Structure 1
Amino acid sequence: MDNIKKCKMEQNSCTEDRIQHVLERCLCDLEFNTPDKQLWNAGLCMNRWCLEELVMRDPNNFPFLLQTILKKTKEVLIQCQYQLVVPLTLLFSSTLLKTPYLHPDVLLEAYSIFHRFLSWPEPYCTSCQHLLNIIHNELRAPGISFQRLVKAEHGISAADQHSKTMMVLLVSPDENISPEIQSVCKQLSASHQSRRDVITTLILQSFQAALGGKIHLQRLRDALQVKQVSELEQLLERVTHCMETAASTADQKSARQSVLQTMERLTLSLIAISGVNYSDRGCAETFSLPFPKCHTSYWENDNFDFLTNIVMKECHLNIPPTCQQDKDDVDVEKEVMDNHSLSTSTSCHSSSFNCYTSATYTSPVTQSKSRKKPKKKSKSLIDLENISLFFKKPISLGTHLKKSHSRQDQFKTASCPLQNPAFPQKHLCIRRRPILSNNESDAPSAEILVRVLVFGRDREAGRLARAYSDLQQKEAKCPRLTKMCKLQFYLVPTKRSSTSMPNRFSQEDSSTDLAQMLGVMDPWYDRSVHSLLSLSSDVLCQPAWNEDNSISEYMVEHLPLMAELVLYYSRHADQPVLVQLYRAELSLAGGGKRSEVFIHSLELGHKAATRGVKAMGAASKRFGINEESEAVPLTLSVAYNKVACSRRSQWTQADLLCTSINVHKASTRAGHLESRPESLWLSVTEIPKKISKKNNTQNSLISNVNVDRVEVCSCKEGDTFAVCLDQDERKFLQSVTRVEVSLCCKPGSSSDWKSFKSLPGQVQALHASYCSMLCLPFISFSTSHT
C-alpha cells in the first residue's frame, strides 16, 4: 500500500513538473522575431494543446495549473513583461472554464493579482478587466461561465435568458478545399449531441462546480436518465435562475452560500434519499464543452444575403414585410454628439488601426496662391474641441492634380461650401475617424450573436470586405440583419490551394498579409492561429487528443487539431481590430463607371492581366504568360498624395512608362503599425529607357512610396489596362481607362462635409458623423500591443 502511494506521489510530481515546463513553452519567445518566425511558432503553438491534454488527464491538475499561472503572473507584474499579460489572462480564463471544482481562495488570490494590472495601458487593462468580470461571477456562482457558453451555443435559454450564439463557416467554392478545412466543415456542421445530453451535462456540471467531491456523479447521472426532457429542462431552469441571481448579488459570501444550499436541496430531491452519505463520494469528472452547431456556407456573391436566411431559419423568425426606421434612430445624432469624448478616446486605444485625427481641408495645392501659413486656432474653437485632440498632430489633405480644366472646375464646385469667399470662415475642422462598426451598426438589444469564420487568405478577406460594405449600404437604408443579430468576423488563414488540377498551370495564390498583420498586433493570434499554416495537413487533420487518454466514457468525440483551433479562436477571442477599407472608382472604355471596395491590394496592368489569364485554366495556354520584362509598357498618368511625417499633403503627378502598378496595404510589418495605419504602398514597375534594338528585353525599375490617395489614367486615347482587386480573379476588370483609390467612408458620411453650409463668420464645431472611415472589424485576442 505504501508503494502504491509513493508511486502515485511520484507520478503527480512528474505531471506537475511537465505542466510547469509546457506552460513556459506556451509563453516562450512571443516577441521573438526572425525570418523563420512562422516555422518557429508552429512548433511552439502545439504546446497549448499539449498543456490542455496534459491537464485534462486528471481533474486535480486544473487547480495546480491555475496556481502555476498565478505564480507566473506575479513574476510578469514585477518584471513588467507586457507581452505576457494577455496570454496569461487567456490561459487562466480557458482553464477556469473547464475546471471541475475550485476553492474560492484561489479565485480571491487571482482577483487580487489581476486587479493590479488595471493601471497598465491598453490592451492589458482591458484584458484583465474582462478576466476580473469572469472571476467576479465565478466567486458568486461557481461554473456559470461554462453554463452561459454552452447555453448560448446550443440555444438553451431559461425564462430570463434569451442569448443565442451561431457559428457560420465561410468557405470559397472556386478552389480545392484543403483536407483540414473539409474535416472542420464536415464535423462541426453535423449535430453531435442531442438536446437531452447537453442539458444533462449542464446539470451535472453545475452540481459538481458548486459541491465538488460532496456528490456522487454516477448516482446523479442515473437519476437523470429516468427523467423526461421536459423535466430536465425545468430542473435546468431552476439551476439557471439560482446561478444568475447569485451572479448579480453584491455580497459574494451570501451569493455563493445561496448557490450551495440550493444545489444541495436539488441533489437531495433528485436522488430521492432523505439522508445522503457524503462519505460515499465518486470521482470528479472533467466535462468537455459540447460542440456548437455550425453552418457551412460557400461564397457565391459578395454579400451577406445568405446570413439572413440562416438567422431566420435558425431562430424561427419571419422577415418583416416593410422596413421602417426604428424610433431610436431619431436620436442617433444626438447620442453621437453626447458621446463625442467617449468615442474619441475609444477609437484611439481599441486598435492601432483606428487612431485618426482631425483634418483641415485646404484649397488645391496646384495653385501657388493657396500656399499660406496655417492660421492659429481661435479661442472659440479651442473651447469646442475635446481636450484629447491637443495631443494629436493635424493632417492636411490635398486635392487631385489634374491637367484638364473640367476636373479642376468639378473640384471647385464640390469644395465651394467650404471656401465660398462670400461667407468666409476662419476655422472649419472636420473630424476623421473610423467608425466602431461592431458597436454602431449593430443593434444594442440584439440577442443573437453570429460568428462568421472566414477561411482563406487575403483574397477571401477582400470578399468579406465587399460583403461588409454592401451590408453597410443596405442597412443604412433599411436596417434588417443588424437589428436581429450582432456580427463578429474571424479570419482563419489557410494554406495555398492545390495546383495539381489537370489542364491548369501552377498559379500564384493570394498572400496572407492581413493574417500576418493581425499576428504583428496580437502575438497570441500569431502563436495560436496564424502559425498553424506551417503545419502539414496531416498534422492538422489528426485528433487533438490521444484516443488512449479518454477522460471518461461520457466524453464527446475527438476533433482534429484544426477544428479545435477554430473552437478555441471563436470562443476566446472577442476584441475587434478595425482594418481600413478602400474604394476604387473605375472608368471603363465604353464610358461606364464602376465603384468597388478592397481591403488589401489593387493590381493594375501586366500583373493584373496575368492573374486574369491564369484564372482561365486550360484556356490560358492559348494566350501565353510572359514575364514582366517582356510585357508591353503603357504610358500612364500617375498622381498620388504622399504620406509625410508632418502629415501634410504632398501631391505628386507624373507621366510614367510602366508595366504594372500595385497599391497594397502598408501595415503588414511591425515598423508600419505606429504611423498612418490607413496608408497604402504604391509600387510602380517603371521602364526608365526605351527598348534597345539589339536587345528584346527591357530594364525595369520598381519604385515604392507611402500614399493615402492614388489616381491612374491612360495618357493616350484608346489605351486601356486591367485591374484586379485583392488578388481575386473574380474581381478582374478589363478595358479600364482610369482608377481613383481613396479611403472608404461610412455610407452617408463622405458627402456630408461637401453639402454643409454655415452662417457667415460662424465657427463650426467638430461633428462625429463627418467623414467617418469605414473599417472592417476582425476579431482577435487583443486589440493591440506595444
Structure 2
Amino acid sequence: MDRSATEADMVHQKVQAILRGLDGQHAALHSDPGMMRWTLHKSLDRNPYSGNIMVGVLIKELEKAELGDNLHYIIPLLHTLMYAITKAAYISDELYERVYVFCKKILTLPKPYCTIGLDYAQKIKTEKKVPGFSYQKMVVSEQNLKRQQDFQQQDKVLLFLDPGLVSEAVCNTLLRETQVCQMSHTSVLCMHYVITNSIQAGLGNDCDIALLQRVLENQTTEEVELWFQEVLSAVERSEQEGGGNRRRHSERLREIYDKIVTSPQEEDPESKLQRIPLPSPNISVHLWTDDDQLWKELMLFTHETQATDGEIESFKMPELAMDSEGNEQNRISVWSNDSGIERDLPGAEEKEPAKLHRKPCIKKKGPDLDSAVLLQNLTKAPKGSRTGTLQRLSGQSTEVSSCPDTLPTARVIVLGDDRALGRLAKAYYSFRKREARRPHRTLKANLQFFCIPVHGEQADSMSDTEEAPSEMHELSKYLGQVDPWYDRNINTLCDRISRIALMPLCPSRDAASDPFILDVASYYLRYGLQPVYFQIYNVKIHFRDLTLEPVEDVFLTELKVEMQDCAFAKLNTMTRKKTVADFRGAGIQVHYKKALASNRGKDASLVLRSAGAIIKAIPNKDSEDLVCLNICTDEPVKSSSGRSSLGNSEGRKASSVQMRSLELRTLSLQLDKDSRRTYANVSSFEVAPCQEPGYSLQKMRASRVHGDGKEDGGLSRYMTKSLLLPINTFAGIIQ
C-alpha cells in the first residue's frame, strides 16, 4: 500500500508539473511539459502496475478541470490519458466507466472539445468491452501485420528530409533511430506483443504472462502467426458483438491461452503483470532530392495496397468455356465497349445459341464516372474554404471521419521550416493536378500531413537580408498559438533535435533504449488527428523579356518582392545627384481586392514608391482570424531632419493582389523564404487563392457545355473551390 501511495504521489507531481507548464509557469521547471509528458509515459515501462494509478490521477485532474472551468487542461490531459490506457498493462472496469462518463460529459462543450470527446467516448466504450483493442489495432495497422480477413488496413509513414535545409547531423540521427527501432521490433516480435497484450489486458493476473512470453519465444514463426490470427479473430468477434459481454471475451482468450501454454511448466502462483513494449510506427525516411518524390512514393504505396482494394478483389474472372476443338480456353478481352447483350455481339447471327454467353468484362469508365470519383474525393474538405472566411471556421476539423478504417492511410511528416512546408505545398498541388487528370490511377487513401519544425542549415545560401531563425517558423508558431499542446510537444523539438544530433554517441548505451525524437514523433502521429487548413496561393509571373512565357507557381507562407535595377538602366545613368528614394525605391502599381469577413471585398488600387513588399499568408497572431493576404510595403519616409529612410507601411488585407513596376527597374520574387525559389527580371505578377485542380477541370468541362463558364455548372457547383493544405495538430484551433 505504501508503494502504491508513493507511486501515485510521483505521478501526481508530474501531472501537476505538466499543468503548470500549460499555464506558462516555466521558471520552476527544469524541463518543458513535452518532456514531462514523455517521462510520465516512460514510467509505464518501468512499472506495469502504474497504469491503473496513472489513469486514476489523470481522470481526477480532468474532472477538476471541467468543474473549475480550466478548459485548456482538458485536451492535453485527454490525449495523455488515452496514451496511458493504450499502453497500460491492465485497467479496472471502474476506471473505464469514469473515463467514459467524463468523455460523454464534455460533449456539451464547443468544438474541438466535443469532437475529441465523442471520438474518445466511442473508443473507451469498445475498450471497456474488449480490453487491449486500441493497442492491437494500433500495432497491426502501423506495422502492416498480415491478416487472414479480406480487409487489411495499412498505414504508411513517410518522413521527408530536405538535405538543403536540414543539417547532415539531424538526417543521420533520424536515420539511425528509425533503423535501430525497425531492427529491434521485427514482425514476429510485434505479433508476440499483440498476443501477450490482448491476453494480459483481458485476463489480468489470472494468467502467467511471463510463462506465455517464454513459450512464444520458443515457437516457430508459423506457430506464432497461427496464434496471432486466433487472437485477432477472437478480439474482432468480441468487438462486433452487441452488448458489453466482457465475460465471453475473457473465455475466448482463456481458451487460446490454454492452447498455447500446453506444456507442463510450473506457473508462478503469484502471477505478475509484465511490461509489453509499444513499438514505434514503421517510418520510412526519405531524403527529399526530387520535386516529384512525394508523388512517386504515394504511387508506390498505391501499388502496395491494390491487393487489398475491395473493388479489385470483388471482380473475379469466372471459369471460361473450353474450346470445342481442344482443351484451350476461349480468350475473352477484359476491356469492352459493347453493351454485353447477346444480340449486340459481333457475328451473333453466325453463332449457335448454345455458345452465346455474356462476356465477363469490365465496363470502361468514361468522363462522367471520372467526375463522380472526383466529386467523392474532393468534397471532404471543410466547408467555408473560401478566402475571406474566418480561420476558426475553415481551419478547424468540422467532423469525425465516419469510416476511418475503409481506406489505407498515408502520413507524411515534413521536418524543417517554412521553406520545407512551401515545398510541400507545391508537391501537394502537383499531386492533386495528377489526381484530377487520372482519378482512377492515383492514391485512394486518407492523406495526412504533419509538421515538425527544425532549424535549417546556418550556412544557407540566402541573401544578405537573412531571416532570423524565429522568422523561419511562422506556420509552426501559429499552430502553437492556436493549439498549446502542439506548442509544448512539437515546437520544443525545434532546438532539441539539433542538440541531440550534435551529441556524441555513447558506446555503452543501447540506441533503442530511449529514442526521444522517435517517441515524440510517434505520439504526434497517433494523437495529432485534428487538421488545421491553410490556403495555398497561386502566383502568375510575367517577365520583362517578352520572349519568355509567363510562369505559374504556388506559395504557402509568404511572397517577398524586391526592386532590382535592369542592366540597361545602369548603362544610361544620369549625372545628376540621386536621392535615397531613387536608389532604393521605384514606382509600383498595386491592384488588390480588400478582404472582409462578409466576403464582399471591394477592388482598390494605388500607386506608390517602394523598395519592396512582403505578402504574408500566415496570420501574425491567433487574434487575426481572417483568411487573407497581408500586404506590407517598404516605402521611403522622410524624417524631421530631412533624411530619407525606409519604413514598413501598415499591412493591407487582401484576397487577391496584382503588382507591376512602373519604371525600368524590375522585380525580384522569392517564394516561401526559399532562395532556391527566386524569380528575377519580373515585370508584373498576380496572386490569387489556388483553386482545386479537380474543380478547375470540372468547371472547364462545364463551360464547354453551358457557355462561358462564369457560373458554376454541373458537378463543379458541389465541389470545394480552394486548395487547402491540412497540417495535423492535437486539437485543431481552440476557440
Paired letter, 2:432 = Q
Which SS does the other structure have where 1:291 is aligned? Answer: coil
Which SS does the other structure have where 1:483 is aligned? Answer: coil
Which SS does the other structure have where 1:671 is aligned? Answer: coil
**How many angstroms apart in 1 are the aligned matches of 2:680 and 2:401?**
38
**How many angstroms apart in 2 are the aligned matches of 1:336 and 1:233?**
36
**In the alignment, which residue of structure 1 is the partner of 2:19?**
27
**How many angstroms apart in 2 are the aligned matches of 1:40 and 1:467?**
41
Of residues 653, 673, 687 in structure 2, which corresponds to 1:741?
687
Conserved in 2, the CA contact under 8 Å of 1:746 and 1:773? yes
Deviation at 1:575, TM superposition (A): 1.5
Conserved in 1, the CA contact under 8 Å of 2:115 and 2:399? no
Residues 44 and 318 (structure 1), Cα distance of their counterparts in 2 relative to 1, 3 Å cut:
closer
Cα-to-partner distance string for 1:733-762 (whole Å, 9 max, x where unaligned): 111111111111112435839949599xx9
**In the alignment, which residue of structure 1 is the partner of 2:734?**
785
**In the alignment, which residue of structure 1 is the partner of 2:544?**
589
Of residues 278, 282, 297 in structure 2, which corresponds to 1:289?
278
Conserved in 2, the CA contact under 8 Å of 1:606 and 1:631? no
Residues 731 and 328 (structure 1), Cα distance of their counterparts in 2 relative to 1, 3 Å cut:
same
Residues 213 and 277 (structure 1), Cα distance of their counterparts in 2 relative to 1, 3 Å cut:
farther
Deviation at 1:496, TM superposition (A): 3.8
**How many angstroms apart in 2 are the aligned matches of 1:248 and 1:165?**
22
**How many angstroms apart in 1 are the aligned matches of 2:129 and 2:720?**
46
Residues 135 and 52 (structure 1), Cα distance of their counterparts in 2 relative to 1, 3 Å cut:
same
Conserved in 1, the CA contact under 8 Å of 2:589 and 2:606? yes
Conserved in 1, the CA contact under 8 Å of 2:196 and 2:209? yes
Q: TM-score if structure 2 supplies the norm length?
A: 0.79
**How many angstroms apart in 1 are the aligned matches of 2:405 and 2:90?**
34
Deviation at 1:684, TM superposition (A): 0.2
> CA RMSD of the aligned region, Å?
4.3
**In the alignment, which residue of structure 2 is the partner of 1:652?**
604
Of residues 725, 731, 736 in structure 1, which corresponds to 2:677?
731
**How many angstroms apart in 2 are the aligned matches of 1:572 and 1:708?**
34
Which SS does the other structure have where 2:649 is aligned? Answer: strand
Q: TM-score if structure 1 supplies the norm length?
A: 0.74
**In the alignment, which residue of structure 1 is the partner of 2:330?**
none
**How many angstroms apart in 2 are the aligned matches of 1:642 and 1:199?**
58
Residues 123 and 608 (structure 1), Cα distance of their counterparts in 2 relative to 1, 3 Å cut:
farther
**In the alignment, which residue of structure 1 is the partner of 2:124?**
135
Paired letter, 1:775 = L
**In the alignment, which residue of structure 2 is the partner of 1:61?**
50
Deviates more, 1:324-333 or 1:517-526: 324-333
Residues 280 and 150 (structure 1), Cα distance of their counterparts in 2 relative to 1, 3 Å cut:
same
Cα-to-partner distance string for 1:405-442 (whole Å, 9 max, x where unaligned): xxxxxxxxxxxxxxxxxxxxxxxxxxxx99999989xx
**In the alignment, which residue of structure 2 is the partner of 1:162?**
152
**How many angstroms apart in 2 are the aligned matches of 1:764 and 1:316?**
34
Conserved in 2, the CA contact under 8 Å of 1:168 and 1:450? yes
**How many angstroms apart in 2 are the aligned matches of 1:763 and 1:579?**
24
Deviation at 1:594, TM superposition (A): 1.1
**How many angstroms apart in 2 are the aligned matches of 1:604 and 1:575?**
34
Conserved in 2, the CA contact under 8 Å of 1:540 and 1:560? no
Pair 1:226 & 2:175 matched: no
**How many angstroms apart in 2 are the aligned matches of 1:734 and 1:588?**
8
Of residues 87, 90, 106 in structure 1, which corresponds to 2:76?
87
Of residues 496, 499, 513 in structure 2, which corresponds to 1:558?
513
Conserved in 1, the CA contact under 8 Å of 2:539 and 2:554? yes
**In the alignment, which residue of structure 2 is the partner of 1:706?**
653
**In the alignment, which residue of structure 2 is the partner of 1:188?**
178
**How many angstroms apart in 1 are the aligned matches of 2:683 and 2:636?**
20
The residue correspondences of 1:227-376 to structure 2 (distance < 5 A) are 227-252=219-244, 254=245, 256-272=246-262, 280-303=269-292, 304-308=294-298, 310-311=300-301, 329=370, 331=372, 353=391, 355=393
**In the alignment, which residue of structure 2 is the partner of 1:144?**
133
Pair 1:599 & 2:556 matched: yes
Of residues 187, 195, 205 in structure 2, which corresponds to 1:203?
195
**How many angstroms apart in 2 are the aligned matches of 1:196 and 1:111?**
34
Conserved in 1, the CA contact under 8 Å of 2:593 and 2:602? yes
Conserved in 2, the CA contact under 8 Å of 1:142 and 1:210? yes
Cα-to-partner distance string for 1:427-461 (whole Å, 9 max, x where unaligned): xxxxxx99999989xx9886421111000011100
Conserved in 2, the CA contact under 8 Å of 1:100 and 1:286? yes
Paired letter, 2:584 = V
Deviates more, 1:773-782 or 1:80-89: 80-89
Residues 109 and 699 (structure 1), Cα distance of their counterparts in 2 relative to 1, 3 Å cut:
closer
Deviation at 1:31, TM superposition (A): 5.6
**How many angstroms apart in 1 are the aligned matches of 2:291 and 2:171?**
21
> Which sections of structure 1, spanning at least 5 residues, go unmatched?
1-8, 357-432, 551-555, 610-627
Deviates more, 1:567-576 or 1:746-755: 746-755
Deviation at 1:470, TM superposition (A): 0.7
**In the alignment, which residue of structure 2 is the partner of 1:522?**
483
**How many angstroms apart in 1 are the aligned matches of 2:208 and 2:715?**
65
Aligned length: 655
Residues 589 and 300 (structure 1), Cα distance of their counterparts in 2 relative to 1, 3 Å cut:
farther
Which SS does the other structure have where 2:611 is aligned? Answer: strand
Pair 1:511 & 2:457 matched: no
**How many angstroms apart in 2 are the aligned matches of 1:458 and 1:773?**
21
Deviation at 1:117, TM superposition (A): 0.9
> Which sections of structure 2, spanning at least 5 residues, go unmatched?
313-333, 336-363, 567-579
Deviates more, 1:179-188 or 1:314-323: 314-323
**In the alignment, which residue of structure 2 is the partner of 1:174?**
164
**In the alignment, which residue of structure 1 is the partner of 2:321?**
none
**How many angstroms apart in 2 are the aligned matches of 1:55 and 1:26?**
17
Deviation at 1:239, TM superposition (A): 0.5
**In the alignment, which residue of structure 2 is the partner of 1:454?**
414
Conserved in 2, the CA contact under 8 Å of 1:434 and 1:773? no
Deviation at 1:329, TM superposition (A): 4.7
Residues 269 and 93 (structure 1), Cα distance of their counterparts in 2 relative to 1, 3 Å cut:
same
Conserved in 2, the CA contact under 8 Å of 1:724 and 1:732? yes
Which SS does the other structure have where 1:683 is aligned? Answer: strand
Residues 77 and 210 (structure 1), Cα distance of their counterparts in 2 relative to 1, 3 Å cut:
same
**In the alignment, which residue of structure 1 is the partner of 2:576?**
none
Paired letter, 1:732 = T
**In the alignment, which residue of structure 2 is the partner of 1:75?**
64
Conserved in 1, the CA contact under 8 Å of 2:528 and 2:730? yes
Conserved in 2, the CA contact under 8 Å of 1:606 and 1:659? yes
Pair 1:776 & 2:725 matched: yes
Paired letter, 1:182 = N
Residues 474 and 535 (structure 1), Cα distance of their counterparts in 2 relative to 1, 3 Å cut:
same
Conserved in 2, the CA contact under 8 Å of 1:516 and 1:668? no
Conserved in 2, the CA contact under 8 Å of 1:438 and 1:488? no
**How many angstroms apart in 2 are the aligned matches of 1:785 and 1:69?**
21
Conserved in 2, the CA contact under 8 Å of 1:640 and 1:711? yes
Pair 1:671 & 2:623 matched: yes
Which SS does the other structure have where 2:620 is aligned? Answer: coil
Pair 1:16 & 2:26 matched: no
Which SS does the other structure have where 1:529 is aligned? Answer: helix
User: Percent identity over the alignment?
Assistant: 20
Residues 637 and 781 (structure 1), Cα distance of their counterparts in 2 relative to 1, 3 Å cut:
same
Which SS does the other structure have where 1:579 is aligned? Answer: strand
**In the alignment, which residue of structure 1 is the partner of 2:494?**
533
**How many angstroms apart in 1 are the aligned matches of 2:29 and 2:260?**
53
**How many angstroms apart in 2 are the aligned matches of 1:98 and 1:779?**
23
Conserved in 2, the CA contact under 8 Å of 1:584 and 1:741? yes
Conserved in 2, the CA contact under 8 Å of 1:347 and 1:354? no
